[in-house]
Copies of this chain bind each other. A is one copy, B any other.
Amino acid sequence: MQNQIGTFLERVEQCKTLIELNTVVAELRHIFQVNHVVYHSVNSLGEPYALATYGQEWAEYYESEELYRVDPVVLGAFQRFHPYDWKSLDWEKKPARRFFQEAQDGGVGNQGVSVPVRGPHGEFALFSVSHTCSDEVWTRFLAAHMPNFLLIGHYIHASIRALEFPGVEGNYVVLSPRETDALRLLGAGLNRGRAAEQLKISEHTLRVYIESARSKLNASNTTHAVAKAMAQGLINI
């Protein structure tokens, strides 16, 4: 089994097109003997993408009804780091219960596990595996494969990024140290006066940094600049 997964990871790395990747990823259904495997972006940075083995009907219904707004799997992803069993989520709320029923009817399965994958430019994606089985069987399955799912999720993500941005290896935007400082302090909640004070420069000067950072980031205002800088990993508050 571990050899099979090693081979799978190598094949993911070598995929030349998204269609090929989709095919390779779909084979995980056979490797793990499960209903479905899904890999999809959770946010709106860049092109939204999804590699899924779900039926078209369910996928379209999900999209058209904006079910990601109530889907506990997606909502839970934002707060989680390690792979998580869908059972550990909050299914008590009314919309969540309704969603679970609809997902069952859509063939998703009664069990599932998801791996959050966070990329350097604010990308956020989910790799999920779902199946229909008892709690006992599922628990044993998870115990055996959690680390594998982590690896698979990261490799798929890296492969998609490589296909979307071939040859991109460097920075898209480079902020000077002072520009970085300025945005970091503003993101931390300081107003310009306090930030300038902290950096021991005049407020006038600070504004120049904000301006040039905003220009480099092609941002329409300070808030946008801070948000973009965070999304691109240029600052961390």
Contact = CB atoms under 8 A, between A and B. Distances in A.
A78 interface: yes
Contacts of A219: 189
Contacts of A90: 170
A79 B170 contact: yes
Nearest to A124: B236
Nearest to A223: B223
A119 interface: yes
A193 interface: no
A73 interface: no
A78 B191 contact: no
A87 to B, nearest CB: 13
Contacts of A51: none
A122 B236 contact: yes
Contact of A228 (B42, B116, B237): B237
Contacts of A187: 223-224, 227
B78 A233 contact: yes
A148 B12 CA distance: 17
Interface string A210-234: 0000000001111110111011111
Interface in A126-159: 147, 150-151, 154, 157-158
A122 B171 CA distance: 20
